[in-house]
Amino acid sequence: MKFLDQVKIYIKAGNGGSGSPSFRREKFIEYGGPDGGDGGKGGSIILRSERNLNTLIDYRYQQHHKAERGENGSGQNCTGRGGNDLFLKVPIGTQVFEDDNKTLIYDFKKEGEEFVAANGGKGGLGNTRFKSSTNRAPKKFTKGAIGEEYVIWLQLKTIADIGIIGLPNAGKSSLLAAITNATPKIANYKFTTLNPNLGVSTYDDKEITLADIPGLVEGAHEGVGLGIQFLKHVERCKALLHLIDITNEDLENTYQQVKNELKNYSKELLKKKEIIVLNKIDLLDETTVKKIMNNFSKNKKSEVITLSTIKKDSVSKIKAKLLSYVS
């Protein structure tokens, strides 16, 4: 499935049906009284969050959405049928903005949340409503109200317990595949991952949701590489797993490069809990790994651990560690 995390759509709620100006027509009664019913209410546009969605791609191909109008009232005091509400499904983590794409209207954080984005118009009144002691045969009725219409933006920001960050080809997708039920694309070249992948890891009967954020490069906050389009997905994560390829020649520079991109995008990201994981230790001998580990972990406020995604005991260890970061 293709990934899309921002889209502009037009929504139009249904108009209300008009009231009826009907009069009774009965045998042997030349002038019957008013019996016009009210119009039905127009359908509303309602956004609903769904857990099994992770993209807004459907709205790229259908950007105009209209709910049903209410039916007009009729004789014998029959009220018109109300228009059906139109439900639009969105992923958890979707934010709704006004046409300026800056003013936040609603933020979906849980499954099954509903937000009425456009209210249907009220039905008009039939002439029966205007009958009085001084006006026995009113011809007055009212038309239905116009349904609300808006242009809105939908923006998706992934919600996960742990966000996996790092430079391209650090092994993020391999890690996600090793500890969760996700099946991301894995290959030995930069930007294999072109959109955030979500996976759920179970350990000690508890679930942890992880997001594989596409690789960050220097200048990402200014649009270099995959740019800032995915940095926003880090904002929702409770903690960050900073994955580094231990075979890199300059680990400190590799680490600071990603940290600088986070800081330049939002200093708030630096306040999140972080665990640093040195990956691919199976490519080096044990002595070299210990030496690199000792040198790199000096003066680090965050915890540093090592990992090999092809070793089961190493994977189990990191599962337990991640659970402690989100408990």
pLDDT of 227 strictly over 60:
no
What's the CA gap between 131 and 105, in Å, rounded?
Answer: 42
> Residues 195, 48: one domain?
no
CA 299 to chain centre: 38
What's the CA gap between 214 and 198, in Å, rounded?
Answer: 12
Banded pLDDT at 192 (limits 50, 70, 90)? very low
Stretch (H or E) spanning 254: helix 251-265
> Residues 148, 196: one domain?
no
Q: Show the tokens assigned to 238.
A: 């409770």
Task: Write the pLDDT tens digit of every residue in 203-217.
Answer: 777 888 888 877 565
> Residues 196, 311: one domain?
yes
CA 124 to chain centre: 37
**Amino acid making up residue 262:** L
Least confident range of 64-68, 116-120, 206-210:
206-210
Q: Show the tokens assigned to 123.
A: 């039905």
What's the CA gap between 255 and 173, in Å, rounded?
Answer: 18
CATH of the domain at 302: 3.40.50.300
> Residues 188, 144: one domain?
no
What's the CA gap between 262 and 228, in Å, rounded?
Answer: 10
> Residues 166, 311: one domain?
yes
How buried is residue 55: exposed, middle or buried, by Cβ count under 10 Å (0-12/13-18/19+)?
middle
pLDDT of 326 strictly over 80:
no
Least confident range of 33-37, 81-85, 230-234, 245-249:
230-234
What's the CA gap between 158 and 135, in Å, rounded?
Answer: 62
Longest dimension (CA), the chain: 109
Of 138, 156, 174, the residue at which a domain comes to its end is 156
Count of structural domains, the chain = 2
CATH of the domain at 122: 2.70.210.12
Q: Which domain holds residue 279?
A: 162-326
169: left (phi over 0), alpha (psi -120 to 50) or beta: left
> Residues 172, 137: one domain?
no
**What is the reported pLDDT for 295?**
92
pLDDT of 189 strictly over 50:
no
pLDDT of 32 strictly over 50:
yes
The percent of residues above 70 in pLDDT, for the chain, comes to 88
Task: Write the pLDDT tens digit of every residue in 272-320.
Answer: 999 999 999 999 999 999 999 999 998 888 999 998 888 877 888 888 8
Measuring CA to CA, which residue among 60, 44, 166 is closest to residue 115? 44
Query: Strand 206-212 relative to strand 197-203: parallel, antiparallel, unpaired?
Result: antiparallel
Query: Strand 273-279 relative to strand 239-245: parallel, antiparallel, unpaired?
Result: parallel
What's the CA gap between 88 and 8, in Å, rounded?
Answer: 14
**Angle at which helices 251-265 and 286-297 cross, to 10°:** 40
| 133-141 contacts, C-beta under 8 A, 24 or more apart | 136/33, 137/23, 137/31, 137/33, 137/34, 138/34, 139/21, 140/21, 141/18, 141/19, 141/20, 141/21, 141/36, 141/73
The percent of residues above 90 in pLDDT, for the chain, comes to 52
**What is the reported pLDDT for 215?**
58
Of 109, 125, 156, the residue at which a domain comes to its end is 156
> Residues 98, 179: one domain?
no
> Residues 138, 173: one domain?
no
pLDDT of 225 strictly over 60:
no
Of 101, 125, 156, the residue at which a domain comes to its end is 156
Tell me phi and psi for residue 271, to 5 degrees. -85, -10
How buried is residue 221: exposed, middle or buried, by Cβ count under 10 Å (0-12/13-18/19+)?
middle
Q: Show the tokens assigned to 315.
A: 């994977």
Q: What is the CA radius of gyration of the chain?
A: 29
> Residues 183, 232: one domain?
yes
Please state the length of the chain. Answer: 327
> Residues 129, 210: one domain?
no
DSSP assignment, residue 92?
T
| Mean per-residue pLDDT, 219-224 | 46
Task: Write the pLDDT tens digit of every residue in 79-103.
Answer: 999 999 999 999 998 999 999 999 9
**What is the reported pLDDT for 1?**
45
Is the pTM above the cut of 0.85? no
> Residues 149, 170: one domain?
no
pLDDT of 24 strictly over 70:
yes
> Residues 140, 195: one domain?
no
**What is the reported pLDDT for 184?**
41
CA 79 to chain centre: 39
Query: Strand 64-66 relative to strand 6-12: parallel, antiparallel, unpaired?
Result: parallel
Bigger pLDDT: 186 vs 299 = 299
Measuring CA to CA, which residue among 243, 94, 90 is closest to residue 162? 243
